[in-house]
Structure 1
Amino acid sequence: MNSYTLADIAPGMTESFTVTVTEAMMDAFYAVSGDNSPIHMDADYAAGRGYPGRVVYGMLGASFFSTLAGVYLPGEHCLLHSVEAKFAKPVFIGDTLTVTGKVTEVNDTFGEITVKAVIENQNGQKVTRGLIKAGVAK
């Protein structure tokens, strides 16, 4: 876990990590969210919609923005203020995702950073874009 303070952060800083989406993650997300949409739960239904398998919950993928901010950039001194997510392509169980964030703004007055984030799959396709605003301890 990183422990950047506001003084350590400058525009242009980047951090990234990689994670593979598993069926266990899908089961855990269902247990928390209660979202039982067949596109996420039923492989045959997903195939009938033209997908190669169950579609991963968009918010499960977007939850990795919380990991990005809380573990990597800035890390332990982070308090999320907002996260905006845009879903560009579906994610599937077994996909390996690279989550990358780049600081675009540091606001010393409010003790807040802005991070432009992107999630790419193993094929280099952007699957999710995000904009994170996070408070950072000075």
Structure 2
Amino acid sequence: MAMARFDRPPRQQSLGKPVTLALLMHVLLVAMLAFGTHWRSSEPEAVDAELWSSVPQLAAPRVAPPPPEPPTPQPVLQPQPAPKAPEEPKPDIALEQKKLAQERAKLEQQQEQQRLEQEKLAKKQQEEKRTREELALLQLVQQDQQARLAKAT
């Protein structure tokens, strides 16, 4: 059976069907392009605009009614003068700089005091630690001596 395949003559390749399909596709492509460019195009509508219109005529001026009679004036009470606020002295650059320098000095002094207090506290804690260690060492020595005495007797 395998030999039967080789015994047949090869098929003839025809170009009719592929060429026909290619031409059909090209015609469809051109038709779609034409439809795509014309389906929304329309002639623009003409627009008319009036650039000048007639100037309106001015009407006659209205007659103003006579002014009303002024009411009788009532006696005006004089308001009490408000107490004057004390004038603030004008800020002087030198005074401001002096104040800033004083504030800085005060701040530095406070920081120095805090640093000294922290150092004192650290020294005190070290001293307490050292005394506790000495007491613990003395207790160990005493226990050792008591153990030797108990062993010797």
TM-score by length of 2: 0.16
Structure with greater strand share of residues: 1
Larger relative contact order, structure 1 or 2 (CA cutoff 8 Å, min sep 6): 1
